[in-house]
Structure 1
């Protein structure tokens, strides 16, 4: 294919010839016999976006789940109405996601028995760490005598009974509309067969963090054990990706990395809270942070209500990490965050909460930096890819020129998505 009249981010006008890779770039290329032509009409052509932290199966399931977060539900009565109107899935369950106590107060099995239909109902907390099941659901998973129905997601003794492998076509098509050509699945404990299935079913190129992904919990932090685990993964040739959503988890992880040593591809996922004193340690470990400032835009008002003012500047940092010399990449954490990477970029630039407040103004970054942090190499997320000869022909073609693309950072500007030289999405 020959892409005509493209504009690179630096303003260069060029035609781009692609097969599976970019084979030529120059202004005024002549179409070869049988070559398809695409007119970019002066729109920006950039490397396809890469979402560096997403949960593919969960994101696919969430597309068919009921949303019951604070944006959708504002009282127990509204929660009851939403669940009553929900469609029971083919598996006989009602599956709801995105819950926070701010929506309708604390939930347990007894509250759900009062509010929900008599069919099995499970509601996921928006952190992803916990499910709340009603009595019918608890019977289904063999836990009829459980005291409160609040079950940790990481407990395979019950979660494995509900495992499903939802098809990924719809999710893949959605990501194509966003210009996403690659993803990194952050689900822990994937077997080789699980990884192969993801790579086979997704339109996008798929990289997985397993077997080096580790989720930490504050009540089980053990620096020595974590250091041994990191050392074992390194000895097997794997980098690690450690989930850190609290200051304690970050501090313990940095100490474990100091003790065990680092791999060039080690990552810290989320870094939701970074105290000032940890910035130099992060830079010293040379570990990449993959973070999600979209949570400021999605949950910022709750942070303003729940987090002490003195600690709010520590939330979802980006600019201060970059200033400290920490390699940083962005992602969405879908389905726990919105899957639109352009919305995440805008959040990194403006850091506005849903009510319009600015949370962490010192952490704002320029639009060009926010975009670059979604263009990183899958293995080295903080190393941007470029549109250049020899690069994979994974491209996002926009209807807006570079200046307008950066000014708007809007998924609506995605005109076409190309993976391996093949157009997998074309608007209209």
Structure 2
């Protein structure tokens, strides 16, 4: 047989316990044929001599927001501002630039119609302060503003946006699961939390299919430069996290046109699943997508994952449902705030059970420990009644978990996706909100593994830094912006455990361990080439991605890193270039 591609002279970390290390790897028709002696003597159409560079399984980001990230690359980025004056200056400059380009400055329909769309805001970058709506109104005038918070769980808007939504008056009621934050006189402050964002977003949405396809092209091209070969899009189709009711179709078109540069698993939000007809027992209402499509539908490149449901909010916004009051500015005095659920628990339970009964797996966004309780209870009840699922049930983030919840998660087979990428930007703020007594419950890692819980590496990008190498480093050192170790130091992972989170762990959590996550014969030929080994590097974050391949086809190659036809001399050591990273 003649291989399509042969990697040789490499430091291959397979993440397969049966053969943890190799120096050569053969690929044919997008799959791994064998390693070392398996491929000795076989010819190959192309040979890549890696001159000792390290090869790992392709990185998997098990929870991110790719359409949002791709769109944000074309929006006004305010993440560099430090202090509200700098923020205001960036907004003014953005408006001035639009005027120079001839962009309309008044309200108009559609995602670009006169709106000022900004991304990257966090009060943590401004001493805990939020913008003054009076100043925002002076800067923007009649042009509506939507500036999404880094967490995605709140946004800053101006009076023009509130007026378009008819939500400017003090008498306007808060929607279920959301808050229009107001001052003592009932005047909106410009901050809209959780589902209240939809009041504004419904004026902007839906994005066109072409806009989404362009966003996916931009975003996944960025992923390829960072070694990412697969990702899970955590919410499409509706709610405040989706961008179009045709988002799946946009993904399909992007894939067909070669504009999707990594494998995608998509989570439809619970909002878009609807009651199904058919001869079902009256005591078992079912909800899903037409034709009975459920989790797992699709192919190796594009498929449907669990249904995404939001149970609570965020820690930074202090809207996550916790069992003890948040601390005020790091002190232990009670604030009377324990966050809130996105809907009444019984309502959430009924909707989730209807979806589970139809065959869907569940991915429950649960950040506070009170929300984790609810998620475990609902998922275990559904599994007992309707059976297990091939695509695992998950708790997204699982940010606050009490000790007794660990074994309950393991016994239920529920995977978790805590984001180490939150430590750098949000760790100090979360430390202040949580206080010392329960800080050890926050963003566990090692204790999940010890308890036997499947741990998936993920970023929540663009909420946080999506660079996998920096994410691995964060799992290892847990450092915040101040240099402190976030939470319990015993939660730090070893380098091999950190690599496993983004490979074998993420594959298991997405129900694809039989296809990827390790470099084993028969599996998909998804791999990442690095300038050094993450298992021995002084700093994993300082390694460079030299190449990325999906199904044996390169989606990214740094300059100087290329294959040659069989028979040519070996390559020189690949040049090392740092992939640009926006987040």
- TM-score normalized by the length of structure 2: 0.67
Report the secondary structure of 2:235's partner residue.
coil
CA distance 1:369–1:131, change in 2 (3 Å): same
Provide the C-alpha distance between the structure 2 equivalents of 1:335 and 1:272, rounded to a whole number of angstroms: 18
Matches within 5 A, 1:18-37: 18-27=28-37, 29-30=40-41, 32=43, 35-37=45-47
Q: Which residue of 1 aligns with 2:90?
A: 82
**Which is further off, 185-194 or 48-57?**
185-194
Question: Structure 1 residues 74, 25: closer, same or farther in 2, change over 3 A?
Answer: closer
Larger radius of gyration: 2
Structure 1 residues 365 and 381: alpha-carbon distance in aligned structure 2, compared to 1, 3 A threshold = farther
Task: Answer yes or no: is the 8 Å Cα contact 1:49–1:180 preserved in 2.
Answer: yes
TM-score, normalisation: structure 1: 0.90
> Which structure has more RCO (C-alpha within 8 Å, separation ≥ 6)?
1
Using a 3 Å threshold, how does the CA distance of structure 1 residues 402 and 139 change in structure 2: closer, same or farther? Answer: closer
Deviations 1:170-226 (A, max 9, x none): 211110011101110001545884123224422111101225110123244544333
Q: Number of matched residues? A: 424
Instruction: Tell me by how many angstroms 1:398 deviates.
Output: 1.9
- Which residue of the partner structure matches residue 122 of structure 1? 146
| Aligned match for 1:413, one of 517, 520, 544 | 544
Higher mean alpha-carbon deviation, 253-262 vs 127-136, is at: 253-262
Alignment deviations for residues 365-422 of structure 1 (CA, whole Å, 9 cap, x no partner):
1011111111132633788721122111111122324644x54323742111111221
Structure 2's unaligned 5+ residue stretches are: 14-19, 104-111, 173-186, 239-243, 255-259, 270-306, 313-339, 560-583
Change (3 A) 1:291 1:381: farther
CA separation of 1:278 and 1:347: change in aligned 2, threshold 3 A: same
d(CA) in 2 for partners of 1:219, 1:23: 49
Instruction: Specify the alignment match of 2:311 in structure 1.
Output: 216
Shift of 1:252: 1.4
Question: 2-side partners of 1:2 and 1:153: how far apart?
Answer: 50
Q: Is the 8 A contact 1:52 1:290 kept in 2?
A: yes
Query: Does the aligned pair in 1 maintain the 2:62–2:510 contact within 8 Å?
Result: no
What is the rounded CA distance, in whole Å, between the counterparts of 2:135 and 2:534 in structure 1? 52
Question: Which residues of structure 1 form unaligned runs of 5+?
Answer: none
1:100 correspondence with 2:122: yes
Backbone CA RMSD of aligned residues: 2.6
CA distance in 2, matches of 1:371, 1:110: 48
1:368 correspondence with 2:490: no
Q: Which has the larger share of helix?
A: 1
Alignment of 1:123-138 (within 5 A): 123-138=147-162
What residue number does 1:389 align with?
A: 521
Task: Indicate if the aligned counterparts of 1:227 and 1:260 stay in contact, CA closer than 8 A.
Answer: no
Partners of 1:397 and 1:415 within 8 A in 2: yes
Match of 1:278?
A: 405
- 1:183/1:206 contact within 8 Å kept: yes
Aligned to 1:52: 62
CA distance in 2, matches of 1:304, 1:224: 31
